[in-house]
Amino acid sequence: MVDAHETHVIVGAGLAGAKAAETLRAEGFTGRVILVGDEREQPYERPGLSKTFLAGSSPRGELFVHDSSWYAAHEVELRLGSR
Ligand SMILES: Cc1cc2nc3c(=O)[nH]c(=O)nc-3n(C[C@H](O)[C@H](O)[C@H](O)COP(=O)(O)OP(=O)(O)OC[C@H]3O[C@@H](n4cnc5c(N)ncnc54)[C@H](O)[C@@H]3O)c2cc1C
pLDDT tens digits, one per residue of 60-72 = 999 999 999 999 9
> For the domain that residue 49 is a member of, what is the CATH number?
3.50.50.60
Residues in the chain, overall count: 83
pLDDT at 4 over 90: no
Burial of 74 (0-12, 13-18, 19+ CB in 10 A): middle
- Partnered with residue 44 across adjacent β-strands are 64
Expressed in angstroms and rounded, the spacing between residue 19 Cα and the centre of ligand 1 is: 13
With bands split at pLDDT 50, 70 and 90, how would you rate the model's confidence at 80? Answer: very high
pTM for the full predicted model: 0.93
Residue 11 CB–ligand 1 contact under 6 Å: yes
Q: What domain range is 43 assigned to?
A: 3-80
| pLDDT at residue 1, rounded to an integer | 67
| pLDDT at residue 73, rounded to an integer | 98
Residue 21 CB–ligand 1 contact under 6 Å: no
Using CA atoms, how far apart are residues 30 and 46, in angstroms rounded to an integer?
29
Residue 79 CB–ligand 1 contact under 6 Å: no
| pLDDT at residue 39, rounded to an integer | 97
Mean pLDDT for the stretch of residues 52-58: 92
**What sign for the dihedral angle of Cα 9, 22, 42, 68?**
negative
- In the chain, the number of structural domains is 1
Residue 16 CB–ligand 1 contact under 6 Å: yes
Expressed in angstroms and rounded, the spacing between residue 14 Cα and the centre of ligand 1 is: 6
